[in-house]
Amino acid sequence: MTTVSMRDALNQAMREEMRRDERVVLIGEDVSGGLGGTGEDDAMGGVFGVSQGLVSEFGRERVIDTPITESAIMGMAAGAAMTGLRPIAELMFIDFMGVCFDQIFNQAAKFRYMFGGKAATPLVVRTTIGAGFRTAAQHSQSLYALFAHIPGLKVVIPSNPYDAKGLLIDAIRDDDPVIFCEHKVLYDTMGDVPEESYRIPMGEANIVRSGTDVTIVALARMVGFALEAAELLAAKGVESTIIDPRTISPLDMETIIESVEETGRLVVVDEGYPRCGLASDIAGEVAEHAFGVLKAPIKRVTPPHTPVPFSPTLEDAYIPDACRIVDAVQATLKQER
């Protein structure tokens, strides 16, 4: 076990899988960087440095820099996945799905079904999500729910280095297309990570903290805020369970519902937009399957229904935080029926 950043944990996962299986390739803009320039080779390693150093071990045949051409990146990766490679394609920011979504949701996601189960598409799309970088409306969104809406896709959202490595390895070895969402504010988060390879199966939630008064479901950066909130609540005698689903397709509703059956209260914290989003989906599932055990209305903690703003003052107000989670929990406690 060593203490590493989430960035390095992801790099380890890719490196180990590329060593294990030569069909694994990395494709994207500046995944190594420097081609056609007058400076250094491997000048970027991805814009966040996640794939730094891979090209020196695996070469440009397998660490494939591309032009800025997201539709061709996603389509090429999907076509290669269907014909024998196991590509990791990088979509630099999830916001850029707007220029390449067809290749993911009409092509990769549907091959298996449209072709009567005869196609496998072992594709991982690594992408970044999240506000907090002062990068405004087109580089800060948390659009994972749009992918989870599509049958045929799997969606992973790790909150810490250990989960990031184990889930990325699982995603690379999986035979379905997986959208792997990395919160850019978490890249420098440190955590203990085994040096050897290990898999965390998609579809298994992590119970981050156990308490009997309320269930808080949170993902990615929101898990840290939920933990902060839980400490503040504990000081007031309120004990929270925190569940990190880790993957939202498949989604481990069983663990969430079991917890709500114990606590009777549910708060869902989601950095995605509030309308038709993940928080609404989880709330809907619980309302449908565990209505009888609820002691209070379900609370959703999300940003407002606005684009992500630029001004730091506005962006800080936009992002859910520990205080808003505490308020939501207290509201469910007050509203007991």
Partner 1 sequence: MGTPLNHDELITAYGQMRTIRAFEESVNEEFLDGNIPGFVHLYAGQEAIAVGVCAHLSDEDKIGSTHRGHGHCIAKGCDVRAMMLEIFGKKDGLCGGKGGSMHIADLDRGMLGANAIVGGAPPLAIGAALAAKNLGTGGIGVAFIGDGASNQGTTFEALNMAVALKLPAIFVFENNGYGEGTGHDFAVGSGDIGALAGAFGMPVTCVDGTDFFAVCEAMADAVDRARSGDGPGAIEAKATRFYGHYVGDPERYRSSIEVSELREHHDCLKIFRSRVLESGLLTENELDDQDREAVAEVDAAVLAAKAASDPTSSDLITDVYAGY
Active-site residues, by number, are 139
The stretch among 109-117, 228-236, 259-267, 285-293 that binds partner 1 (CB under 8 A) is 109-117
The least CB distance from residue 251 to partner 1, in Å, is 10
174 binds partner 1 (CB under 8 A): yes
Using CB under 8 A as the binding criterion, the count of chain residues that bind partner 1 stands at: 47
Q: Tell me whether residue 201 or residue 297 sits nearer to partner 1 (CB atom).
A: 201
Site membership for partner 1, residue 55 (CB under 8 A): no
- 25 binds partner 1, rule: CB under 8 A: yes
- Measured from the CB atom, the residue of 100 and 214 that comes closer to partner 1 is 100
| Residue selected from 44, 47, 120, 333 as contacting partner 1 according to rule CB under 8 A | 120
Pick the closer one to partner 1 by CB: 117 or 292: 117
Rounded to a whole number of angstroms, the minimum distance from the CB of residue 222 to partner 1 is: 25
Report if residue 83 touches partner 1, rule: CB under 8 A.
yes
Q: Which stretch binds partner 1 (CB under 8 A): 63-71, 126-134, 227-235, 292-300?
A: 63-71
Stretch that binds partner 1, among 65-73, 235-243, 302-310, 315-323 (CB under 8 A): 65-73
**How far apart are alpha carbons 184 and 189 in whole angstroms?**
10
Helix axes 322-334, 221-234, angle to 10 degrees: 50
Q: Is 112 in the site for partner 1 (CB under 8 A)?
A: yes
Q: Is 254 in the site for partner 1 (CB under 8 A)?
A: no
Rule CB under 8 A: say whether 23 interacts with partner 1: yes
Three state DSSP letters for the chain? CEEEEHHHHHHHHHHHHHHHCCCEEEEECCCCCCCCCCCCCCCCCCCCCCCCCHHHHHCCCCEEECCCCHHHHHHHHHHHHHCCCEEEEEECCHHHHHHCHHHHHHHHCCHHHHCCCCCCCCCEEEEEECCCCCCCCCCCCCCHHHHHCCCCCEEECCCCHHHHHHHHHHHHHCCCCEEEEEEHHHCCCEEEECCCCCCCCCCCCEEEECCCCEEEEECCHHHHHHHHHHHHHHCCCCCEEEEECCEEECECHHHHHHHHHHHCCEEEECCCCCCCCHHHHHHHHHHHHHHHHCCCCCEEECCCCCCCCCCHHHHHHHCCCHHHHHHHHHHHHHCCC
Subset of 176-205 contacting partner 1 (CB under 8 A) = 176, 203
**Least Å distance between CB 154 and partner 1?**
7
One of 13, 26, 64, 88 touching partner 1 (CB under 8 A): 64
Q: Which stretch binds partner 1 (CB under 8 A): 9-17, 80-88, 233-241, 282-290?
A: 80-88
Whole-angstrom distance, CA of residue 253 vs CA of residue 158: 17
Enumerate residues 207-236 that contact partner 1 by CB under 8 A. Answer: none
44 binds partner 1 (CB under 8 A): no
- From candidates 119, 136, 232, 331, binder to partner 1 by CB under 8 A: 119
Residues 264-323 that bind partner 1 (CB under 8 A): none
Residue 223 structure tokens:
């898990």
> How many Å separate Cα 259 from the centre of its chain?
22
Nearest-approach distance from CB 217 to partner 1, in angstroms: 20
For Cα atoms 247, 248, 250, give the angle at the middle one, nearest 5 degrees.
80
Contact between residue 89 and residue 27 where contact means Cβ atoms under 8 Å apart: yes
Residues that bind partner 1 (CB under 8 A): 23, 25, 61-62, 64, 66-67, 69, 71-85, 87, 102-103, 106-107, 110-120, 151-152, 154, 174-176, 203, 250
